[in-house]
Amino acid sequence: MALISDTASTEWVTIFITCAFLIILVVPIYRLLFHPLAALPGPKLAALSSWWQIRKIIAGKPYELAFTTDMVQSMNIIFLMKLNLTDFSAESSASQDKGPWYDMMRYQLIRRSAGPAFTASNLKRFKPKVIEVMQRVCERLHRLNGEEVDTSEWMHIIVLECLTSITWSGSPEDILEQGHNYGDLELNLTFWRRTSVLGHLPTLCVLLDVMPMLRKYVFQILGLPTSYSSQGIGLPAHVGPSLFKQLLHRISSIENPSFENGRDLIEQLLAIHIDKPKFNLDYARGIAGSCVAAGHDTTGSSLVSILCRICASPDLQRRVEQECRGERVPVGFEDRPSTITSACVREAMRLHHVTNISLPRVAPRDGLQLHGYFFPEGTVLGCNPTTFARNTDLFGPDAREFKPERWLSDDEDQIKTMERYSLLFGGQSRSCPGQNLAKLIISSVVPHLFRNFDIHVKVPKGGFDNYPPQFWTMLSGSKIRFVPR
Ligand code: HEM
């Protein structure tokens, strides 16, 4: 008996060693020589596994690419074609149950139906709501009496007030009065630092779900924050649940929703639902929730970089103040910036992209021909917004410098090029649906603050490079004082 079992176990060991040997030898040989993408130039390590890219993300340099080519042509092809999202981006933009964004048909139905509510012209009707919020905010900031506070915390509070007011005529309980966001934005930052890396390692994620006790060690090895983070993508961790209750309460109070006279976005979305029942109630509720879920961190961190950049230059700040305090109210996002304030907004958002890893898309059924290479079905393709924003062909040799004047130049063609190749709000085929909402908020908040206060900002040690650009990121650690005028 013992002899038989010894022989059997020796066989198993042999099979195991042979398989391991084949995998270790055959897989790399296949990937380097025979894989359909083997001919692409670039580091061989990048061809062997996704570790090359993951290491770049961990190092805070996701914009350094393995293989660069005619970026402009790539962008046209990748984003003008309606390529499907990858699991990474679908997971990122969806609720935990893979949400409405996961299925392309459903996704298109939702975007088409909800589209009219998110146009710039429709959202303009909610501008009075933002002004009302800013009156409350300014009154509260006056009471701070010039005390030093955390910039990201306050920008987050302001954005949450604006978003909840526009979307369901709500207001996050007490956070403005208390001047405290429970650290929700920083928690999001931690969450995204991890997701930027783990999003590329789906098998590891499954393993960590099965064996959560390994998390701490894996995070340590990968150099990821081990501290508690927000539990998932979406509403801010602490104030989120009460915000969701507010949304449900508002929905139950609407009897005959009207699009034309809708008091807020959720009323308009319910009117769309009545008109087009296929756009069901869950979708309407999901979209309203995602206005806050997808908008609170992105818009908040944009405001942080805008204020920090303007106030880091006394001359620029003086010009912005003059403009904001004059008769003419500068707008943040005209098609072509015409004021120094709007130019600063554009430039700060260009240099401090909210999303910094390639926006991923999947090659379609018949594959894709690009730059003389064939990318088979399922290949993940993408363009990195930050790589574009730092591209000297598009922005000139000073592409890495903060120069708002570049947006005010007389060179129409140059402005059009900078506009056209900006991936700030994503690629055209499925760009950010909330961009007009974010623009409405930013273009109202910035002039209000400079009109009412002398603002003093302390940029954290390490300056503007103190934070690694990952999937979503933010300039954290800066302090601000709002001195009433
Ligand atoms: C300054 C603020 C914002 C920035 C910079 C921003 C940027 C982006 C980017 C880069 C994408 C990925 C697009 C792509 O893959 O091509 C995206 C997607 C998305 N954004 Fe925004 N966003 C902002 C604010 C908002 C707001 C206020 C909302 C609220 C409605 C929102 C809702 C979404 C949603 C739902 C998606 C997923 C869309 C999809 O899967 O097709 N965003 N955003």
Q: What is the pLDDT of residues 207-258, one digit of tens each?
A: 988 998 998 899 888 888 877 666 666 788 888 889 999 999 999 999 999 9
Determine the distance separating the centroid of ligand 1 and the alpha carbon of 433, expressed in angstroms. Answer: 6
Task: Identify which has the larger pLDDT, 160 or 426.
Answer: 160
pLDDT in tens, 353-390: 888 877 877 788 888 888 788 888 888 777 888 888 88
Tracing tokens 């509260």 back to the chain, one arrives at 140
Determine the distance separating the centroid of ligand 1 and the alpha carbon of 252, expressed in angstroms. Answer: 27
Please indicate whether residue 431, judged by its CB atom, sits closer than 6 Å to ligand 1. yes
> Whose C-alpha lies nearest to ligand 1, atom 3?
298
Please indicate whether residue 427, judged by its CB atom, sits closer than 6 Å to ligand 1. yes
- Locate 255 and state its tokens: 């009897």
Determine the distance separating the centroid of ligand 1 and the alpha carbon of 423, expressed in angstroms. Answer: 11
pLDDT in tens, 70-111: 666 666 665 555 555 554 444 444 334 444 445 678 888 999
d(CA 331, CA 334) in angstroms, rounded, equals 6
Q: Is the pLDDT assigned to residue 278 strictly greater than 90?
A: yes
- Ligand 1 pocket, mutate which of 104, 292, 355, 425 (most atoms under 8 A from CB): 425
Q: What is the mean pLDDT of residues 187-210?
A: 85
Res 247: pLDDT: 96
In ligand 1, the atom with minimum distance to the C-alpha of 111 is 41
Res 365: pLDDT: 80
End-to-end, the C-alpha distance of the chain in Å comes to 93
Please indicate whether residue 300, judged by its CB atom, sits closer than 6 Å to ligand 1. no
Q: What is the DSSP string of 165-193?
A: HHHHS---TTHHHHT--TTHHHHHHHHHH
Please indicate whether residue 286, judged by its CB atom, sits closer than 6 Å to ligand 1. no
For the chain, what percent of residues have pLDDT higher than 90? Answer: 47
Q: Is the pLDDT assigned to residue 351 strictly greater than 50?
A: yes
Question: Which option is the CATH number for 35-484: 3.30.70.3420, 1.10.630.10, 3.40.50.720, 3.90.110.10?
Answer: 1.10.630.10
Whether residue 395 contacts residue 418, with contact meaning beta carbons closer than 8 Å, is answered with yes
Task: Identify which has the larger pLDDT, 455 or 197.
Answer: 455
In ligand 1, the atom with minimum distance to the C-alpha of 90 is 40
What are the residues whose beta carbons fall under 8 Å from the beta carbon of 462, sequence distance 6 or more?
A: none
Please indicate whether residue 359, judged by its CB atom, sits closer than 6 Å to ligand 1. yes
Listed range (2-16, 78-92, 191-205) with the worst mean pLDDT: 78-92
In ligand 1, the atom with minimum distance to the C-alpha of 423 is 10
Sign of the CA dihedral 369, 373, 377, 380? Answer: negative
With cut-offs at 50, 70 and 90, classify the pLDDT of residue 332. Answer: low
Res 263: pLDDT: 97
Closest alpha carbon to 167 in 294, 274, 242, 267: 267
Task: Identify which has the larger pLDDT, 387 or 307.
Answer: 307
Q: Is the pLDDT assigned to residue 136 strictly greater than 80?
A: yes
Q: Is the pLDDT assigned to residue 154 strictly greater than 60?
A: yes
With cut-offs at 50, 70 and 90, classify the pLDDT of residue 464. Answer: confident
Q: What is the mean pLDDT of residues 281-297?
A: 94
Q: What is the mean pLDDT of residues 5-13?
A: 70
Determine the distance separating the centroid of ligand 1 and the alpha carbon of 213, expressed in angstroms. Answer: 33
Please indicate whether residue 100, judged by its CB atom, sits closer than 6 Å to ligand 1. no
In ligand 1, the atom with minimum distance to the C-alpha of 293 is 29
Task: Identify which has the larger pLDDT, 366 or 285.
Answer: 285
Q: Which H or E run includes 360? A: strand 359-362
d(CA 104, CA 84) in angstroms, rounded, equals 7
Please indicate whether residue 93, judged by its CB atom, sits closer than 6 Å to ligand 1. yes
Q: Which H or E run includes 150? A: strand 148-150
In ligand 1, the atom with minimum distance to the C-alpha of 355 is 10
Determine the distance separating the centroid of ligand 1 and the alpha carbon of 322, expressed in angstroms. Answer: 32
Q: What is the mean pLDDT of residues 287-300?
A: 94
- What mean pLDDT value characterizes the chain? 85
Q: Is the pLDDT assigned to residue 305 strictly greater than 70?
A: yes
What stretches of 199-313 show up as alpha helix (H) in DSSP?
202-210, 215-222, 240-253, 265-275, 281-311
